[in-house]
Amino acid sequence: SAVISQKPSRDICQRGTSLTIQCQVDSQVTMMFWYRQQPGQSLTLIATANQGSEATYESGFVIDKFPISRPNLTFSTLTVSNMSPEDSSIYLCSVGQVKETQYFGPGTRLLVL
């Protein structure tokens, strides 16, 4: 399976600011995804990061709030914009591999004050 890293691993931010999370994979992958996991909750898919085109967002998530970049097949970023305390979550990237199995990065723990 692919090895996935995320930066930062955690951060504490002030409301109204933005944070960019990086996801790096050790091999080229077609499918990359971004998830949010609010405290004590399950995972919710934010968007599919498409290489060379705009990300595909799920219902309830918009590009202005969560802009995503995918400049190549090994890297993606997710920005959480104009943050509020409700954005405090774990943000995880994942990659899709054979037989639709997703492997997840270690996550970024975000606390917004």
Partner 1 sequence: AQKVTQAQTEISVVEKEDVTLDCVYETRDTTYYLFWYKQPPSGELVFLIRRNSFDEQNEISGRYSWNFQKSTSSFNFTITASQVVDSAVYFCALSEQGTYKYIFGTGTRLKVLA
Q: Which of 25, 47, 105, 110 is the binder for partner 1 (CB under 8 A)?
A: 105
Pairing status of strand 89-96 against strand 108-112: antiparallel
> Does 7 interact with partner 1 (rule: CB under 8 A)?
no
Query: 42-81 mask for partner 1 (x: CB under 8 A)?
Result: xxxx--x---------------------------------
Q: Cβ 109 to partner 1, closest distance in Å? A: 7
Assess contact for 32 and 93: CB atoms under 8 A.
yes
Assess contact for 56 and 105: CB atoms under 8 A.
no
- DSSP state at residue 9: S
> Does 14 interact with partner 1 (rule: CB under 8 A)?
no
Residue type, 44: T
Q: Which is nearer to partner 1, 74 or 94 (CB)?
A: 94
CA nearest to 13, candidates 98, 91, 97:
91
Helix (H, G, I), strand (E, B) or coil at 87: helix
Q: Which is nearer to partner 1, 48 or 69 (CB)?
A: 48
Residues that bind partner 1 (CB under 8 A): 1, 31, 33, 41-45, 48, 90, 92, 94, 96, 99-107, 109
